[in-house]
Homo-oligomer: A and B are copies of this chain.
Amino acid sequence: MNKERDDTLASRISRVLAERIISGVLPPGERLRQDHVAEEFGASHVPVREAFRRLEAQGLAVSEPRRGVRVAAFDLKEVREVAEMRAALEVLALRHAVPHLTPAILDRAEAATAAADSSRDVRSWEAANRAFHRIILEPCSMPRLLAAIDDLHAASARFLFSAWRSSWEARTDHDHRAILTALRQGKGEEAAAILGRHVGWIGKTPVRTAAGEVRDAFSIIG
The contact of A65 among B8, B49, B59, B82, by CB within 8 Å, is B8
Separation of A8 and B91 alpha carbons in the complex (Å)? 38
Number of identical monomers bound together in the oligomeric complex:
2
- Please name all residues of chain B whose beta carbon is closer than 8 Å to the beta carbon of A82 when the two chains form the complex: 144
- A7 lies within 8 A of chain B by Cβ: yes
CA A143 – CA B85 in complex, angstroms?
12
Contact check, A85 vs B54: say whether CB atoms are below 8 A apart.
no
Interface residues on A, range: 20 to 34
Chain B nearest CB from A209 CB (Å) reads: 30
Q: A88-B89, A148-B148 are in contact. Are A53 and B57 (CB under 8 A)?
A: yes
Residue from B54, B81, B88 within 8 A of A144 (CB atoms)? B81
Chosen A-B contacts, 10 in total, with CB atoms closer than 8 Å, are A8-B65, A50-B50, A59-B144, A78-B144, A82-B144, A85-B148, A88-B88, A88-B89, A88-B92, A148-B148
Chain A interface (Cβ within 8 Å of chain B)? 6-8, 10, 46, 49-50, 53-54, 57-59, 65-66, 78, 81-82, 84-85, 88-89, 91-92, 142-145, 148
